[in-house]
Structure 1
């Protein structure tokens, strides 16, 4: 259920219905890795390069606002660590009301569809969307196909994950990429929500941009891409290349060339 507030805030985290979002909540999961120690400079770089919004946990909010160049801000509401007993068991870390208090334009919530923790995460995401609707706040559901018997690139499983996000009341859904545009069409057709792809582990510049190009060709609405952007040697340049594909529909070669990245990278 959309409201004027939700629509207005969606405009703050995207451009004409497409999205380049850079999650930087990974300090919770993997620690202060490259790109996150001086998160202020990274935020300035990616937003200068064309990102529509950045995403962090609530405690990082004071480090975000002065450096995001007027772009959108999303607060993530659950998390886990890579050194804990089970990284897939995301625990609630905040509320929609707290996100409002720290100046967020949207909230996000992670759910692992097919994992042992799916039942609790379904309940928690449904609670978040109820809170958010009351406050006119958009919800980005990070709905992954992850579990002991689940292929994380299976288009059927990914399609199920994005449909679940819609069924639970999300406004945007992020999921993994199935590997090619042809199979990802099924994922995008499984929901009326805008579908954005995760980046996963960092690949080459060409691999990153080809993945974005494939997702857009399949009907995707953009990216919510963390490590591939914030761990890059030049976050501004790679954000610019991704934005070129998402917002200007340019080719992989043109995106790499116009952003100053080597075509063979």
Structure 2
């Protein structure tokens, strides 16, 4: 890894661990809760301890003054929930555009196992090649998705994260398999730092127990969107997630220390 990529990778995490809050969902879902006034949400989650935030390039002017010196990732592809197929992610930007927008890193979503896998593999290969020219790290959001694919199966997730490494990524995000024992197989499938997605919010304790399980399995952190930015108190939940990732707290201790209700 060249010096520029390593330096920028440090900006989106802390000591090799990552609490990234993606907020690119406006292009996918529209201006949902937490994204209408995205400035306030960015301020809250970064005050709470998020290492970096992630948006599409057009939101960059709303990011920089509100991120409290956190890192910034620009996402480079997308789809919408009202389009014909949400798995069909199309390019929305380039590494050069991301650099102009002030990004420290770029990210790309790939659905391994979908009928769009071939095109998304080619897109990721182009992005990693261009990113190398600029010394910019690449976060691959590599999911196991497609006909007959179990999105939480450890073997499929392990294939997805290895896919990301083989194509030249620097960090890989994927779904959590549901327990620490099975997720160890996912982490062992690659030498890349593995971070877990949040998925649909299921309550604070469930969220933090998933983070704790992933960290116990050897994960490097989270890239967690809706569970954080749609929370009634984004700053508090970001603080709790950060406590699990960076300070090794249990779910219960992290909830208590963040001032959130400790659910039964």
**Shorter-normalised TM range:** over 0.9
In the alignment, the residues of structure 1 paired with residue 2 and residue 74 of structure 2 have an alpha-carbon distance, to the nearest angstrom, of: 19
- Whether 1:19 aligns to 2:15 is no
1:162 corresponds to which residue? 161
Who is 1:178 aligned against? 177
**Could you say which residue in structure 1 is the equivalent of 2:244?**
245
Q: CA deviation at 1:215?
A: 0.3
CA distance in 2, matches of 1:203, 1:226: 13
Matches of 1:83 and 1:179, distance apart in 2 = 29
Task: Give the CA deviation at 1:148.
Answer: 1.0
TM-aligned CA deviation for residue 264 of structure 1? 1.2
Correspondences of 1:162-241 after superposition (within 5 Å): 162-241=161-240
Per-residue CA deviation, residues 103-136 of structure 1 (Å, 9 max, x unaligned), is 0000000000000000000000000000001100
Q: Give the aligned partner of residue 147 of structure 2.
A: 148
Structure 2 distance, partners of 1:252, 1:87, is 32
Q: Secondary structure in 1 aligned to 2:68? A: coil
1:110-125 alignment to 2 at 5 Å? Answer: 110-125=109-124
Give secondary structure in 2 for the equivalent of 1:262.
coil
- The list of structure 1 runs, each at least 4 consecutive aligned residues, that deviate by more than 6 angstroms after superposition, is none
2:61 equivalent in structure 1: 62
Aligned counterpart, 2:49: 50
Aligned-partner Cα distance in 2 for 1:18–1:26: 23
Q: For this pair of structures, how many residues does the alignment match?
A: 264
Correspondence 1:124-139 to 2 at 5 A: 124-139=123-138
Q: Which residue in 2 is equivalent to 1:6?
A: 5
For the residue of structure 2 that corresponds to 1:64, the secondary structure is: helix
Helix, strand or coil at the partner of 1:20: strand
TM-score for the superposition, normalised by structure 1: 0.99
5+ residue gaps, structure 1, are: none
Where does residue 85 of structure 2 map in the other structure?
A: 86
Give the drift of 1:149.
1.2
Report the alpha carbon displacement of residue 143 of structure 1 after superposing the two structures with TM: 0.1
- State the shift of 1:70 in Å: 0.3
Give the whole-Å Cα distance in 1 for the aligned partners of 2:254 and 2:128. 36
Structure 2 distance, partners of 1:147, 1:180, is 22
